[in-house]
Amino acid sequence: MKYLHTMVRVNDLDKSLEFYCDKLGLEQRGRYDVEAGRFTLVFLSAPGNEDAQVELTHNWDPEELDEGRNFGHLAYEVENIYDVCQRLQDNGVTINRPPRDGRMAFVRSPDNISIELLQRGEALPIQEPWASMDNVGHW
């Protein structure tokens, strides 16, 4: 038995690929445009960790993608949590839970999928501007 992927639905595929790939750092592993079913599937995963994927499902006909409480978040380990948060913030992503402790942060995808970032190994030394940055919204 093997974990394959977590599927999330996305309303705007370009905006989602920009978020998950250009900003967060995942890479595209496959894309299937299914004309008959009017949907596109895109499989993403972290560099060097190709097996554990996220599947983006984009239904071509608009739908409301509300969030529920039974799903929590996706979590990724990163090499340097400050660098990732800086890159996300520089590209317009709100850091909902800044890495004040040098260890953990939360952001959200364009469709409000909560994403946890965890520092690989030990926490980094506490550092501004993160140390005194407030939470924004929920995650």
- Whether the CB-CB separation of 45 and 53 falls below 8 Å is answered with yes
CB of 72 to a second copy, least distance (A): 3
> For residue 26, what are the CA distances in angstroms to 19, 35, 56, 84?
9, 26, 12, 12
| Nearest residue (CB) to a second copy, 84 versus 95 | 84
| Cα four-point dihedral sign 125, 130, 131, 134 | negative
| Cα four-point dihedral sign 83, 76, 8, 139 | negative
Q: Given the rule CB under 8 A, which residues bind a second copy?
A: 1-9, 25-26, 45-49, 51-55, 57, 63-79, 111-113, 116, 118, 120
| Nearest residue (CB) to a second copy, 56 versus 95 | 56
CB of 66 to a second copy, least distance (A): 5
If you ran DSSP here, which 8-state letter would residue 130 be given?
G
Told to judge if 67 belongs to the known catalytic residues of this protein, a careful annotator would answer no
Catalytic residue, candidates 64, 67, 116, 128: 116
| Nearest residue (CB) to a second copy, 75 versus 126 | 75
Which active-site residues does the annotation give? 116
